[in-house]
Structure 1
Amino acid sequence: MTFRTLDDAKDLAGKTALVRVDFNVPMEDGKVTDDTRLRVAVPTINRLRDAGAKVALLAHFDRPKGQRVPSMSLKPVVEALENVLGAPVRFAEDCVGPDSVEAIRDLDAGGVVLLENVRFHAAEEANDPVFAQKLADLGDLYVNDAFSAAHRAHASTEGVARHLPAYAGESMRRELEALDAALGNPVKPVIGIVGGAKVSTKLDLLKNLVGKLDRLAIGGGMANTFLFAQGVDIGGSLAERDMAETARDILAEAEAKGCEILLPIDVVVATEVKPGAETRTVLAREEIGDDEKILDAGPLTVEKLIKAMTLSKTLIWNGPLGVFEVPPFDVATVKAARAAGDFAKAGILTAVAGGGDTVAAMHHAGVTGDLTFVSTAGGAFLEWMEGKPLPGVEALKA
């Protein structure tokens, strides 16, 4: 898809850019404990500042449900944002009305103001057109730099873009380009890895992927459901046994569409999930005790998966292969992730990962900086993988 970026925005000096950012950051005792999301916004903010624009930042924090909740104010973010920007940041006590108008008016060219939590207004999540117009009245152009909120049709993510020239910020652009390279227009062959606990939460995802991928590896608790659907005795493993017929339908659809499904050949089992638990590695179709649970993929499975990566040009990854949070059940995820990182660094594989526990798993494996792109967008990343249009992205189409 083609979308408007800041390369298309001309003559910004003296104009006000309304920039939607994701500042829903971790906080403790009124202090930001992780400034990653603030840092992600810096390239867009600085590009606009360097062009002589005033920058008015729109963001949400937590779920105030349309009420003014003091503990959910964005005011404590100002100090942390000043630190990462190396520049002063004003704060407006509201995102519309006199407070916001005055704060923006008093800015010098290149100045930055953070507007109060847009979700203090119920009209935000309702995508109320009157509220969207009030937001638009504050600026001359709109920049969306919050892909993580792009799956929401809210006033600050979609409505305001109907009233102003709308562009993707630098972070949004990187995200869209990476996802397009992974799933929109990838270099084939393409392999996907989908893990996690439940098939039921990823039905749309699986159905979309089997029509787009050359190979799809299924791991985690989801793989147990597929093994069970094939008549494998999975003992006391986590599985959605009532989804067996659905799993068989997905396997049949994959076969019809030429997508090879990779399920575990061997598995690591234990009677309890705890660090350092006693484990057994068995072939998936061998006897698993009634009191044993499948908690990770085995070495043969990982070897086959890595070989499949070498036969591919593009990888898209969502979800761990086992209970990676509890060693020793992190082995398969770590080995596969490090192989993907090595292939990406060598330039032989475009590797994009994201959604849910995936970011934590990649951090755990130490490969976040090695993969081509790691998305922190969560729900928006999943909906993109499911093939759903994202309102905040649709609004930026050229």
Structure 2
Amino acid sequence: MAKKELKDVSVSGKKVLVRVDFNVPMKNGTVTNDNRITAALPTIQYLIENGAKVILFSHLGKVKVEEDLKKLDMQPVADVLAQKLNKTVKFVPTFEGSELEEAINSMANGEVILFQNTRFADIIDGNGQICLDDKGQAAAKRESKNNPELGKYWASLGDVFVNDAFGTAHRAHASNVGIASNIAESCLGFLVEKEVKMLSQGVDQPAKPFVAILGGAKVSDKIDVIENLLNKADKILIGGGMAYTFAVAKGDKVGKSLLENDKIEVAKNFLAKGKDKIILPIDNIEAPEFADVEGKITPDANIDDGYMGLDIGPKTVELFTKELQDAKTVVWNGPMGVFEFENYNKGTKAVCAAIANLTDAFTLIGGGDSAAAAIQLGYKDKFTYISTGGGASLEYMEGKVLPGIAAVQDK
């Protein structure tokens, strides 16, 4: 069923609760990258222009210990948002109670408030007390465990709920599922709506040929993705640390490369099921240690004893580029090597460039490190879509239901 979207809902004069993803990087109380704030602006501006009372809330980081209550305060985010909107954003330094209720009840149409970090409810209990376990760790867990009373309480603060936080759509939290289950009307915001449409086009209804590129450290992180994509993709190109488990499954030597011994049988089964669909590296760049030192190129897929593979080699880059040439749909998730090392980021850069230079294809990056790589390399505008949610887009690629979206009302 298609979900209700923002334009399906009347918002004028209504108190509209908007779950945004303002989980931005911070340093010394300053926002260091505001991409996620920018991504939410279309939804916020639409609500302002249509006379809604806009009540925004988000988590920020993981609230584990008492000091996080100072470190992960949302005030700096409110300041950045106010600059971007060129409008006052009232910050309410609490996530429940009379101060928040009074701020909401005194709002005029078109006004915006941002209330405090929803994850503070993981360390502060329903009586307003700091709640820690015997190791000094957050023990209330009201937000992250979807406490029913908290979800009902937040829902009671508004008339309409808009979920515009794709980055948490794979989590059943009080601030998404809890509110959506307890409010008269709910819908998707513009950002989540676009994410769902783009991921659906890339994964559920791909134009053929469809090529998936998977990288990253571990096969175990991508088992469900491979399982799902084997039924949909024409080719699956595998790089990164996960390729070495497949190499052993195929009978190649991997030296002291990253290897998941308990996943070799899984890899063998995938290779048997996928037959010629799965394309593995045919050469590597190896080094004697996990360090940013100059490596050497292997002549074939085998890695020397005492060495570890840290990137795909030039022949593999050529092979992967050739496999991509005729693709009409490309979905990419995970780097091809140790991208943070200057000596081992060439494979990821080359694959990124090969996808970016396709002229007649739908190209999608499923968030995470691949998204960071594409943006860092200046290819942001060369892809059809770059997902804002690493974990959520990965679970979508696995074919899983995302609870934060499922809880929103159907059209």
Same fold (TM over 0.5): yes
The residue number in structure 2 matching 1:87 is 87
Question: Could you tell me how far 1:101 is from its partner in structure 2?
Answer: 1.7
Sequence identity of aligned pairs in percent? 41
Residues 37-95 of structure 1 deviation map (CA, whole Å, 9 limit, x = unaligned): 11111111000000011100021122235979233221232211111111100012323
In structure 2, the CA distance between the partners of 1:274 and 1:24, relative to structure 1 (3 Å rule), is: same
Q: Are 1:29 and 2:28 matched, yes or no?
A: yes
Name the CA distance, whole Å, in 1 between partners of 2:220 and 2:300: 26
Superposition pairs of residues 1-398 of structure 1, within 5 angstroms? 2-10=2-10, 12-64=11-63, 69-121=69-121, 122-162=141-181, 163-255=183-275, 260-275=277-292, 277-285=294-302, 288-343=303-358, 346=359, 348-396=360-408, 397-398=410-411
Kept in 1: contact 2:288–2:308 (CA 8 A): yes
Kept in 2: contact 1:65–1:119 (CA 8 A): no
Kept in 1: contact 2:166–2:388 (CA 8 A): no
More deviation, 311-320/197-206: 197-206
Question: Could you tell me how far 1:310 is from its partner in structure 2?
Answer: 2.1
Name the CA distance, whole Å, in 2 between partners of 1:134 and 1:198: 40
Name the CA distance, whole Å, in 2 between partners of 1:355 and 1:225: 23
Name the CA distance, whole Å, in 1 between partners of 2:221 and 2:74: 32
Residue ranges of structure 1 left out of the alignment (5+ in a row): none
Question: Could you tell me how far 1:366 is from its partner in structure 2?
Answer: 2.4
Residues 179-207 of structure 1 deviation map (CA, whole Å, 9 limit, x = unaligned): 01110222122111110111122222222
In structure 2, the CA distance between the partners of 1:73 and 1:337, relative to structure 1 (3 Å rule), is: same
3-state SS, counterpart of residue 328 of structure 1: helix
Question: Could you tell me how far 1:314 is from its partner in structure 2?
Answer: 0.6
Name the CA distance, whole Å, in 2 between partners of 1:144 and 1:374: 19
Kept in 2: contact 1:66–1:120 (CA 8 A): no
3-state SS, counterpart of residue 119 of structure 2: helix
Name the CA distance, whole Å, in 2 between partners of 1:149 and 1:45: 18
Kept in 2: contact 1:118–1:156 (CA 8 A): yes
Question: Could you tell me how far 1:106 is from its partner in structure 2?
Answer: 2.1
3-state SS, counterpart of residue 220 of structure 1: coil
| Number of equivalenced pairs | 389
Name the CA distance, whole Å, in 2 between partners of 1:93 and 1:366: 37
Name the CA distance, whole Å, in 2 between partners of 1:83 and 1:277: 45
Question: Could you tell me how far 1:149 is from its partner in structure 2?
Answer: 0.6
- Which amino acid in 2 is paired with 1:263? L
Kept in 2: contact 1:95–1:116 (CA 8 A): yes
Question: Could you tell me how far 1:278 is from its partner in structure 2?
Answer: 4.0
Name the CA distance, whole Å, in 2 between partners of 1:52 and 1:327: 50
Name the CA distance, whole Å, in 2 between partners of 1:36 and 1:338: 22
In structure 2, the CA distance between the partners of 1:63 and 1:276, relative to structure 1 (3 Å rule), is: closer
- Which amino acid in 2 is paired with 1:161? A
Kept in 2: contact 1:144–1:169 (CA 8 A): yes
- Which amino acid in 2 is paired with 1:279? K
3-state SS, counterpart of residue 284 of structure 1: coil
Name the CA distance, whole Å, in 2 between partners of 1:356 and 1:282: 31
Name the CA distance, whole Å, in 2 between partners of 1:248 and 1:151: 29
Question: Could you tell me how far 1:351 is from its partner in structure 2?
Answer: 0.8
3-state SS, counterpart of residue 290 of structure 1: coil
Residue ranges of structure 2 left out of the alignment (5+ in a row): 122-140
In structure 2, the CA distance between the partners of 1:43 and 1:308, relative to structure 1 (3 Å rule), is: same
Kept in 1: contact 2:284–2:309 (CA 8 A): yes
Kept in 2: contact 1:225–1:243 (CA 8 A): yes
3-state SS, counterpart of residue 283 of structure 1: coil
Name the CA distance, whole Å, in 2 between partners of 1:320 and 1:229: 21
Name the CA distance, whole Å, in 2 between partners of 1:331 and 1:319: 14
What stretches of structure 1 move > 6 A for 4+ residues in a row? none
Question: Could you tell me how far 1:270 is from its partner in structure 2?
Answer: 2.7
Question: Could you tell me how far 1:123 is from its partner in structure 2?
Answer: 2.6
